[in-house]
């Protein structure tokens, strides 16, 4: 692990991301004694330091932080402000003056991706990047070509170890626990392969729609928004080989191998959907072909997984909000026992991230009584109830890691490009969107690619209070 940074420079300090996510994360780090460095906010608007502090106070108030909170006072005290236009070289002169005693800065680019190359080049021109770490937010390109161009622009002035490509999904405690469950328990490894696993399904559905973000969604769609990044990362964690260590390079190397074993997806492997009413959303084209739903099926051509179908379903305005991965095992070679109600349920391993944090293993047991009847039961671990805490929030964890130089939860250039390579044919030649009703499970055509027993695979989540 590298040395701790001695300054955080936040580009886009007055923006929505900073307000909703970054300032509460910085406060949480300060509260745990993990910050204690100057924070310099830089943005185009001609604000004053006091106005920036007022916005930070409002952000923390919205996040439920009391007005007299000591960590909030400490955070506000260490904040500085630099007014700047990213196209004006003098802005970076002012920033350099504010950083004259800084030796190891973190630059967080909470700005449109189109400005990444321009801002990084300007920082390098002013000799501010030699020892710097640079955090860039998704989207990391819109397709394979733009992702390659972005990586080239960053690589022109930065080493790969200086770049922190953030995907907040990887900061979730429950996502990280997949690696611990897989590689910290010897009972799973012998049956985590094509001989014993029948199929793997990943679900990321939301019961809400655009919530005023229609104009943004028109520029991305479901495939770019969550499948290419979040959900393919989840596939990697479920399918990767054991890394030789928990070092960032070793973990990323194994993830890249997974993506390279997936052939570029063909349009017939994807069903795109659009919920009824999307085209009436503010900022949405009345004839929009943007998908609010994706269902896809693919295989991983590796020794471990050859022949095992992996499926993904993601969508908005669905019947429920759930994010989970389900590993379904093959059935016993013979069924010796009577099932209750004539139904036999295969063993399943479930990793759920929303709405509750859960690991669950389903088993067949004997029902009490004279007859030998089997019934499915679940062995479950709810983190918040049984471990007593939920861990740091995603942005708190990732900001803290960037400050100390920990790369494990950040994406490397080749990982980003391989994920785009997998979905690129779907972007080049997308099938038409199919309509579905709000509150449903998506378009009927999704049955072409999804498991026939999907309803049985998906349990109804019950949120457990901590």
Q: Annotated catalytic sites, by residue?
A: 230
B/e letters for 229-262, b = 16+ CB within 10 Å, e = fewer, are bbbbbbbbbbbbeebeeeebeebbbbbbbbbebb
- Kindly give, in sequence order, each residue whose CB lies less than 8 Å from that of residue 319, ignoring residues fewer than 6 positions away: 205, 207, 439, 440, 441
C-alpha distances out from residue 222 to 116, 131, 205, 289, 420, Å = 23, 37, 11, 12, 14
Helical (H) or strand (E) element with 222: helix 221-222
> Cis peptide before 154, with omega less than 30 degrees from 0?
no
> Rg for the chain (alpha carbons), in Å?
24
Strands 338-339 and 373-382: parallel
Cα 451–454–459 angle (5° rounding)? 150
C-alpha distances out from residue 428 to 55, 143, 284, Å = 42, 9, 21
> Cis peptide before 136, with omega less than 30 degrees from 0?
no
Do 171 and 318 form a contact (C-beta atoms < 8 A)?
A: no
Cα 271–272–278 angle (5° rounding)? 155
């Amino acid at each position: 692990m590298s040395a701790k940074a001695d300054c955080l420079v936040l580009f886009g300090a007055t923006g929505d991301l900073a307000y909703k996510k970054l300032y509460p994360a910085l406060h949480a780090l300060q509260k745990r004694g993990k910050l204690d460095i100057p924070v310099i906010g830089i943005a185009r608007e001609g604000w004053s330091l006091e106005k920036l502090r007022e916005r930070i106070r409002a952000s923390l108030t919205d996040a439920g932080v009391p007005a007299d909170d000591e960590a909030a006072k400490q955070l506000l005290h260490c904040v500085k402000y630099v007014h700047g236009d990213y196209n004006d070289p003098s802005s970076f002169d002012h920033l350099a003056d504010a950083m004259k005693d800084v030796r190891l800065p973190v630059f967080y680019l909470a700005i449109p991706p189109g400005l990444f190359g321009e801002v990084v080049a300007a920082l390098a021109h002013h000799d501010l990047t030699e020892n710097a770490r640079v955090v860039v937010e998704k989207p990391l390109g819109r397709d394979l070509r733009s992702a390659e161009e972005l990586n080239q622009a960053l690589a022109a002035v930065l080493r790969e170890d200086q770049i922190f490509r953030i995907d907040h999904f990887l900061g979730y405690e429950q996502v990280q626990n997949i690696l611990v469950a897989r590689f910290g328990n010897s009972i799973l490894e012998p049956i985590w392969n094509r001989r014993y696993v029948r199929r793997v399904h990943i679900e990321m559905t939301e019961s809400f729609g655009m919530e005023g973000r229609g104009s943004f969604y028109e520029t991305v769609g479901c495939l770019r928004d969550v499948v290419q990044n979040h959900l393919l990362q989840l596939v990697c964690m479920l399918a990767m080989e054991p890394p030789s260590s928990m070092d960032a390079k070793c973990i990323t190397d194994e993830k890249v191998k997974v993506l390279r074993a997936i052939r570029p997806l063909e349009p017939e492997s994807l069903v795109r959907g659009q919920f009824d009413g999307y085209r009436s959303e503010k900022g949405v084209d009345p004839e929009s072909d943007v998908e609010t739903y994706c269902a896809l099926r693919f295989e991983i051509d590796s020794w471990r997984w050859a022949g095992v179908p992996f499926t993904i379903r993601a969508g908005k305005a669905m019947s429920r909000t759930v994010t989970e991965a389900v590993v379904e095992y093959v059935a016993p070679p013979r069924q010796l026992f009577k099932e209750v109600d004539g139904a036999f349920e295969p063993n399943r391993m479930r990793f759920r991230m929303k709405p509750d944090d859960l690991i669950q293993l389903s088993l067949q047991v004997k029902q009490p009584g004279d007859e030998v009847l089997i019934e499915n039961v679940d062995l479950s671990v709810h983190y918040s109830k049984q471990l007593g805490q939920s861990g740091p929030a995603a942005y708190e964890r990732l900001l803290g890691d960037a400050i100390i130089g920990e790369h494990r939860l950040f994406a490397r250039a080749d990982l980003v490009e391989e994920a785009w390579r997998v979905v690129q044919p779907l972007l080049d030649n997308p099938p038409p969107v199919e309509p579905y009703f709000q509150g449903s499970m998506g378009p009927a055509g999704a049955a072409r690619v999804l498991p026939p027993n999907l309803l049985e695979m998906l349990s109804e989540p019950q949120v457990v209070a901590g």
